[in-house]
Amino acid sequence: MAASALTATAQNPIKVNQVGYYVNESKVAVVEPTGKSSNFILKDHNGRKVWSGKAVRTLKSPFNDKVRQVVDFSTVTKPGTYTLTAGKNKQTINIAEHPYNEALKAAIKAFYLQRTGTDIEAKYAGAFARKAAHPDTRVLIHPSAASPKRPAGTVISSPKGWYDAGDYNKYIVNSGFTIGLMLQAYQLNKEHFEQIDTQIPESNNNVPDLLDEIMYNLEWMLTMQDPDDGGVYHKLTTPNFEAFVMPVDCKQDRYVVQKSTQAALDFAATMALAARIYKDYPQYQPFCKIAANAAQRAYAWAVRFPKNYYTQQDNNSKYDPDVNTGTYDDNDADDEFFWAATEMYLTTGEQGYLEQARAFAPKQFTLPTWGNVAGLGIFQWLNQELLQTKEAGKLKTCCMKKSLKTFCDEDIKALATSPFYSIFGNSASDFIWGSNSEKCAGRGIAQMYQYALTKDNTYRKAAITTIDHIFGRNATGYCYLTGFGTQRVMHPHQRISAADGIEEPLPGFLAGGANSGQQDAKNVPAYPSSSPDESYQDHEGSYASNEIAINWNAYLVALLGFLK
Ligand code: G3I
Ligand code: 9MR
C-alpha cells in the first residue's frame, strides 16, 4: 500500500483502537468535534445501522484547550468490521474474540528482525530479508574494560544477540531488562505464548518460539562475561552511532567497554531466571547449567564492586577512543540487587540470596524500567504467589501488594476525567522518552498483576485502556505498532527501516511515543505542538519520540501475553 493511502486518515478526528476491540469489553471512541453533529452512528459491513448514540462525556484536555467527546458503543458485541460515523467523518472499527493475536505475533517476530550476525531469510522475513552483518567475532577490549588477562586491544568473540533499537549496538542492561520482563510474563501465561507461531528458524523444535527467540540473545549475553573474574561488560558498541546505512555497510570497530555493577546484576538476574525456565526443554539443559554458574559469578562480582556504575563521560576523559553511544547509566544499584538476589534465591535456594533480597526489598511498587528493575523483583515474588510455589511467602510482599493496589486504584480514578478514556496520559509526567512502554504498557502490566491477584475485572478493563492508547485512541491518532492500523507509523528512527529501500518500515515494532522532552528538536522539523501528548512526530530523525527498542517491544509482548 502506498504511504499516502496509509496516512490518508492522519487528521481523522475519530480516534479509536485501530487494531480492534474485544467482543466483551468496553468499546470507546474519542471524537474531536468538528461541527454541530452530536449523533454518532455505527454501521455493519452491509451498511446496516447497529448502534447510534450521543457522547457520554465531553472533556477538556489537561494540556491545552482541545475538547474531546467520549463515545461508548460497548453494547455492540458481535465480531465484525464496522464503520463509525461522526458528521462527515468515518472510522473503521474491528471487533473480535482475540483482536491482538496478530499484533502479539508481530511484536515477538520483531526480535527476529533485530538479530545480529545471521542472514535474515526471505522464508521468515519476506521482503525484509537481509544479509548477515555484525558477526562480532572480532570485538576489541576497550581500555575502560582492560584487565590483566585481557589488556586493551585484546580480541574477543561476542556473536549473536539483538540490535538494541534503531542503533546497531548491544547493551547488557537493556537486554537483561527486556528478557526479564518477557520471561516473567511467560511464566504466568505459558499456554498463550506456546500457541504463538512466529515462523522463525527454530519454530519446529518443540520449544515455544518466544523462548527460542530469547535464547538468541541469552547466548550473546553469556559472551559478555569476563571468564576471568565474572564481571560483565556494560555494552558492545561502536565508538559513535553508525550513519543511516544497512548493517552490512557498517565499518567501525566494535568494542566491549567498562564492566558495571548494573550489567553484572541484570545479567545475574536474567541468567538465573533463564536457568529455571529453560530446564523444561532437554536441548537447553546444558545451557541452564552454564547460565546458573555464570549468574553466581556475576553476582559475586557485583558484591565485590557494588558501586561500579557506568561512567561514559569520565571514561572519555581517560581513554581512547571516546564512546558516544547509548549509556543506560544509573546511579543506584539497590533495585538491581533486589531483582538479582530474588532470581538467584529462586534458582539456587541459598539463604544468603534470600537475605539479600530482603535487605534490598522496596517498600513501594514502582513501574519497572531498564533503570529501575525493582518492579521485576516484585513481579517475580508475585509470580511465586500466583504459581503457588514453595518459595511463595519467603519474602513478605504485603507492603508491595498494598502499594500496587494503591497505584492501580489511583490510575483507575483518573479514568473518570480522562479525555481519551485511558489510565495512561492524564498527567504530563507520563510523556517521557519511551512513554508508550515505560508508562503506558507498564501501567497496563501493573493492572494485569492486580487482576491476577484479585480476579477483579475492573483491573483488566483498566489494562485494556493502555492498549487502546497504543493502537490509536490518543492525541496524535497514530497506531504506534508498525505494520498495524489505519494511521500508521511509516518512518521510525530505525536504521534498517530507513536504509533498506522498502517503503514500509519493518513490522511489529512499537514506537517510543509522545515525549515532552523533545530532546531531538535539533534533528527534526518543528514539533506539531508543545503539548506533552502531541510531542510526537513520525519522522526518521525523531529518536526521542519515534525510535523503536527491544525493551519497548518487551512491554507490549508482556501485556498482550497477559490480555490474550
Ligand atoms: O524517568 C525520568 C522522569 O522521572 C522525569 O520526570 C523525566 C523528565 O525528563 O525524565 C525521565 O527520564 C528520562 C528517561 O529516558 C526515562 O526512562 C530521561 O529524561 C531520558 O533522557 C531517558 O532517555 C533514555 C535515552 O536512551 C537517552 O539516554 C531512554 O530511557 C532510553 O530508552 C534510551 O535508550 C537508547 C539507548 O541509549 C541507545 N539505543 C536506543 C535506545 C532507545 O532510544
Ligand atoms: O540514533 C541514536 C539513537 O539510537 C539514540 O537513542 C539517540 C540517543 O542516544 O541518539 C541517536 O543518535 C543521534 C545522536 O544522539 C545525535 N545526533 C543524531 C543521531 C541520530 O541521527
What is the number of structural domains in the chain? 2
Q: What is the mean pLDDT of residues 280-284?
A: 97
Q: Quote the ligand 2 centre to 241 CA distance (angstroms).
A: 7
Amino acid at site 172: I
Q: Does residue 237 lie within any of the structural domains?
A: yes
Of ligand 1's atoms, which has the minimum distance to the CA of residue 167?
39
- Residue 3 has a CB neighbour count (10 Å cut-off) of 12
What contacts 538, CB < 8 A, 6 or more positions away?
478, 489, 490, 491, 492, 511, 546
Judge if 245 and 208 occupy the same domain: yes
Any idea which ligand is nearest the CA of 372? 1
Phi (first) and psi of residue 249, to 5 degrees: -95, 5
Kindly indicate the confidence band of residue 7, based on its pLDDT and cuts at 50, 70 and 90: very low
- For 119, half-sphere exposure in the C-beta direction (CA atoms, 13 angstrom radius) is 7
DSSP 232-264: BBSEEE-SS---S--GGG-----EE--B-HHHH
Judge if 245 and 307 occupy the same domain: yes
| Dist CA 436 CA 510 (whole Å) | 8
Judge if 118 and 148 occupy the same domain: yes
Domain of residue 31 covers: 3-100+411-562
Which CATH number does the domain housing residue 457 bear? Answer: 2.60.40.10
Judge if 152 and 276 occupy the same domain: yes
pTM of the predicted model as reported, rounded to 2 decimal places: 0.97
Kindly indicate the confidence band of residue 414, based on its pLDDT and cuts at 50, 70 and 90: very high
**Secondary structure of 119-159 in the HEC alphabet?**
CECHHHHHHHCECCCCCCCCEEECHHHCECCECCCCEECCC
Q: Does residue 273 lie within any of the structural domains?
A: yes
Residue pLDDT, tens place only, 347-365: 999 999 999 999 999 999 9
Q: Does residue 109 lie within any of the structural domains?
A: no
Q: Does residue 188 lie within any of the structural domains?
A: yes
Any idea which ligand is nearest the CA of 245? 2
Catalytic residue check, 97: no
- Asked if residue 481 has its Cβ within 6 Å of ligand 1, the reply is no
Kindly indicate the confidence band of residue 37, based on its pLDDT and cuts at 50, 70 and 90: low
Mutate to test the pocket of ligand 1, among 433, 536, 555 (most ligand atoms within 8 A of CB): 433
DSSP for residue 500: S
| Dist CA 419 CA 426 (whole Å) | 8
- Domain closes at, from 327, 362, 396: 396
Q: Does residue 529 lie within any of the structural domains?
A: yes
Residue pLDDT, tens place only, 38-92: 899 999 999 999 999 999 999 999 999 999 999 999 999 999 999 999 999 999 9
Judge if 504 and 389 occupy the same domain: no
Judge if 182 and 249 occupy the same domain: yes
Judge if 265 and 391 occupy the same domain: yes
- Asked if residue 70 has its Cβ within 6 Å of ligand 1, the reply is no
Q: What is the mean pLDDT of residues 369-397?
A: 98
Residue pLDDT, tens place only, 165-205: 999 999 999 999 999 999 999 999 999 999 999 999 999 99
Q: What is the mean pLDDT of residues 150-162?
A: 98
Q: Quote the ligand 2 centre to 323 CA distance (angstroms).
A: 13
Contacts 24+ apart (CB under 8 A), 424-431: 424/465, 424/466, 424/469, 425/469, 425/474, 425/475, 425/533, 426/62, 427/62, 428/62, 428/63, 428/516, 428/532, 430/532, 431/513, 431/514, 431/515, 431/516, 431/532, 431/533, 431/535
Catalytic residue check, 320: no
Q: Which residue has the CA at smallest separation from atom 12 of ligand 1?
A: 432
Q: Does residue 390 lie within any of the structural domains?
A: yes
Q: Quote the ligand 1 centre to 544 CA distance (angstroms).
A: 8
Q: Does residue 107 lie within any of the structural domains?
A: no
- Domain closes at, from 348, 370, 396: 396
DSSP for residue 181: H
Judge if 341 and 427 occupy the same domain: no
Residue pLDDT, tens place only, 504-549: 999 999 999 999 999 999 999 999 999 999 999 999 999 999 999 9
Judge if 121 and 238 occupy the same domain: yes
Q: Which residue has the CA at smallest separation from atom 24 of ligand 1?
A: 433
Q: Does residue 270 lie within any of the structural domains?
A: yes
Q: What is the mean pLDDT of residues 335-353?
A: 98
Chain-centre distance for alpha carbon 109: 13
Say whether pLDDT at 10 is over 70: no
Which CATH number does the domain housing residue 145 bear? Answer: 1.50.10.10
Q: Quote the ligand 2 centre to 245 CA distance (angstroms).
A: 14
Say whether pLDDT at 33 is over 90: no
Q: What local confidence, expressed as pLDDT, does residue 1 receive?
A: 34
- Asked if residue 210 has its Cβ within 6 Å of ligand 1, the reply is no
- Asked if residue 544 has its Cβ within 6 Å of ligand 2, the reply is no
| Dist CA 158 CA 163 (whole Å) | 13
pLDDT averaged over the chain? Answer: 97
Residue pLDDT, tens place only, 287-336: 999 999 999 999 999 999 999 999 999 999 999 999 999 999 999 999 99
Any idea which ligand is nearest the CA of 547? 1
- Domain closes at, from 396, 429, 463: 396
Judge if 450 and 546 occupy the same domain: yes
> What's the burial of 216, exposed, middle or buried (CB within 10 Å: 0-12/13-18/19+)?
buried
Judge if 288 and 350 occupy the same domain: yes
Judge if 126 and 61 occupy the same domain: no
